[in-house]
Structure 1
Amino acid sequence: MRSPDFRVLAYVARLEMALERIRLQASFVNDAAMDLADRIKTTVIPGATTEQLEELRNCGLEMERLLIDLQEPTQDQEADVAITFNVKSMVESIFRWQLRLTGLKNVCLHLDVAEPDLIWFPSRMRHILDCLFSNSLKYQDELKGEGRVLVSIHQGPDKYELRISDNGIGLTRDAELRMFQLFDRSDSGKLVDPVVGLAVLKLLIEQAGGDISVQSSAGQGMSFVVSLPRYQEGDYID
């Protein structure tokens, strides 16, 4: 039996992740628009009270924030071409989206980014952040009150180190060992479960010359460390 071509698997997985992100965003925007429309309908304009006018203003601001986060920069869509982009803004935007998709309200982002601009592959970085934020939010511990997701990005002379930690429920040692197995997935028939997708994420990171590791224990949250090699502007991945 021929071994799988992991470049093909990585390409297919990236397409699935991108399509799933678009599907989730479209579904969320549709639901949000309907909710805002219902709220506006219940606000009587003639003789509206201060509270009603404030509600209308809040509806407009919510939709404005939603549309801003939907505006993925054009350069982010380029396939595997290294460019300069603001990773701090990307982290904040993706975290807001993941909060919207999960409906969680009591999770805070703590961000440590000394240099907001870096040269890498924005589309691939977006997949990394989407997947790791999704996992952190999926395994939040309701008994701990406020959830926390800590993100640090440090730039070394030849690599970037991305660390994402949380105070969630964590994983057992057995689950930790299985999480990067490519075909240990659900029965959905998809190559990658977009909610978890850690096995495919590992593949995408390694294809770019990086690596990913995780530390976790039950009840103590998870900490992912991603090491990514630095590239020059205009470099690309075959």
Structure 2
Amino acid sequence: MPISNAAFVRSTLVLLLAGMIALLGIVGMSLWLTGKVQSYFAELVEVRAVRSAAADLLSTIQDAETGQRGFVITGNPVFRGPYDNALKAVAEQQRDLAERAGSRPEYAGRLAEIGRLIDGKLAELAQTVTLVEQGRAADAVAIVEAERGRQIMERLRAELGAIIADADVRLQEGIADMLGASGALRWMTIIGAVAIIGVVGGAALVVAQYTRDVVQARREVETLNATLERRVEERTEELIRANQEVQRFAYIVTHDLRAPLVNIMGFTSELDAALGAIRAYVLADDKTPNADEILEARRAAEEDLPEAIGFIRSSTKKMDSLINAILKISRDGRRELKIERVDLKGLVEAGAGAVAHQVAESGGDIAIAATLPTVISDRLSLEQVFGNLFDNAVKYRAEDRPLRISVTARAGGRGESIVEFTDNGRGISEEDHERIFELFRRSGTQDKPGEGIGLAHVRSLMRNLGGDIGVRSQLGKGTTFVLRLPPDLGKVVRSMQA
């Protein structure tokens, strides 16, 4: 269905609005998801820093404890180096942990206890180292064996381990959240791309359809312009032909109606003469009519008057028949056509059935093609056309051979259907091929009743249906009537009204 300008504008605006909404949605969701990813990443960095500080502090204290125990057990100054280095790093790492965990409530509560435990542990370590330096190694070993330092270390390991374990959980959850946000961002990008591609594709289809309609409309205009002259010529030819038919019809009607009038006028004179003779006899009064007057009055009463009245009656009957024929054609021309789908095969078969017994009596047959077209036309008019053709074929059959009738069809130009109605009857001489379609005109021997209006009526009906009828025939060899029908009478009517 062609796209109108208004529909094209509406479709374009809708697609642009949809594209804008999709783009804004994609940008908004992308910004939101990007913010979430950044937030998750910042959280991961902070938690990882706390974990790292806690793990480093625990490792440093463990290094200090290891160096302390080695120095206490062996008294070797070599073990004093790791202890001293670890001791220097503890304070800095404790400050680093306090800075990183102090802003996080889940860890800040543990810092005071961790600081107290570290102070206790460092004091225990310093006391044992000092005793060894004073040569009191046994006292130092006794302090170590008292396990006070081990208990402090276990509690410190538990506090820092809790921070490390919580940080591990938070790191896993943060990584999962960040992966989820990244996946959502990826799917949002894919969905947005599909939406934008759909909008762009829809816009491209609308533009393509509109462009195709514009090109087609332009081609139709070019075709109309190219065929306009031909159509004007066809309409002009139709008008000329119609005008000629009107003139010929007027001539035929006036000529054929004038003949009975002339006869009536002539026999009226005969009546007047006969009445003169009768008047002389009847109105003789006291005068006795002579023999000649009596004979003349008798002849007028017995011969002239009946003859004149008979001819007048015959002429008026002829005039009445002619007038009725004219009225019939006139009524058919004014009848409103009922346009419907008509199956020509069924219609022709019905017409053939009406004359089948007459054809069979002559030993003949009727052959109808296996396929006849279906047209959109006026059924009643077509029934009258084929009924008249079947009647004529039966009426004017050749007496020396069985009657054969065939009905075939083929496609014509511009989609029209051409139906050929053929019989093997008397045939029509070539000079009468057009004459038979004129009103009150007949061809050949006039041995059959009729007024010569049948084929004129058929041509009038065919032209009312937007078609026409012609004839091919030779005397003694049969006749073929060629009917041309448009595929759709409705289009013809609309074209004539345009």
| TM-score tier (shorter) | 0.5 to 0.7
TM-score (norm 2): 0.29
1:169 to 405, 426, 442: 426
- Please say which of residues 204-213 and 169-178 is displaced more in the overlay: 169-178
How far 1:182 sits from its partner (Å)? Answer: 1.9
Partner of 2:410: 154
Name 2:328's counterpart in structure 1. Answer: 12
The equivalences for 1:43-58 within 5 A come to none
**2:369 aligns to what SS in structure 1?**
strand
Judged with a 3 Å threshold, the aligned counterparts in structure 2 of structure 1 residues 150 and 119 are, in CA distance, closer, same or farther, namely same
State how far apart, in whole Å, the 2-side matches of 1:166 and 1:81 are: 30
The structure with the largest helix share of the pair is 2
> Structure 2: which amino acid aligns with 1:141?
A
Aligned match of 1:38: none
Shift of the alpha carbon at 1:168?
Answer: 1.2
Distance 1:155 1:105, change over 3 A: same
Residue matched to 2:176: none
Are residue 110 (structure 1) and residue 367 (structure 2) matched? yes
Could you tell me whether the CA contact under 8 Å between 1:149 and 1:166 is conserved in 2?
yes
SS of the residue 1:92 aligns to: helix
2:395 and 2:453 mapped to 1: Cα distance?
9
Q: What's 2:206 paired with?
A: none
Compute the displacement of 1:183 (Å): 3.5
Structure 1 residues 108, 79: closer, same or farther in 2, change over 3 A?
farther
What is the TM-score of this pair, normalised by structure 1? Answer: 0.57
More strand by share: 1
Could you say what secondary structure the match of 1:224 adopts?
strand
In 1, Cα distance between equivalents of 2:417 and 2:373: 12
Question: What's the CA shift string for 1:57-100, capped at 9, x where partnerless?
Answer: xxxxxxxxxxxxxxxxxxxxx94122113221211111121345
Residue matched to 1:119: 376
Q: Check 1:85–1:206 CA distance in 2 against 1; reply closer, same or farther (3 A cut).
A: closer
CA contact (8 A) 1:82 1:235 kept: no
Match of 2:240 in 1: none
| Counterpart residue identity of residue 125, structure 1 | L
For the residues of structure 2 that align with 1:106 and 1:171, how far apart are their CA atoms?
Answer: 23
Q: Which of 328, 332, 338 is equivalent to 1:81?
A: 338
CA apart distance, 1:11: 7.6
Distance of aligned partners of 1:89 and 1:194 in 2 relative to their CA distance in 1, 3 Å threshold: farther
Amino acid at match of 1:225: V
Residues 139-174 of structure 1, C-alpha deviation per residue, up to 9 Å, x if partnerless? 211212x32101012345521111001111212234
- Structure with the bigger RCO (C-alpha within 8 Å, sep 6+) is 1
1:179 match? 436
* Structure 1 pair 130–196 and aligned structure 2 pair: CA distance change class (3 A): farther
SS of the aligned residue for 1:118 comes to strand
**RMSD value, Cα:** 3.5
- Inter-partner Cα distance in structure 1 for 2:490 and 2:435: 36
Q: Is the 8 A contact 1:10 1:204 kept in 2?
A: no
Change (3 A) 1:81 1:92: same
Percent identity of paired positions between Structure 1 and Structure 2:
24
Q: Partners in 2 of 1:207 and 1:79 — Cα distance?
A: 10
Q: Could you list the runs of 5+ residues in structure 2 that have no partner in the other structure?
A: 1-245, 251-324, 443-449
* 8 Å CA contact 2:427, 2:474 repeated in 1: yes
CA distance in 2, matches of 1:125, 1:152: 15
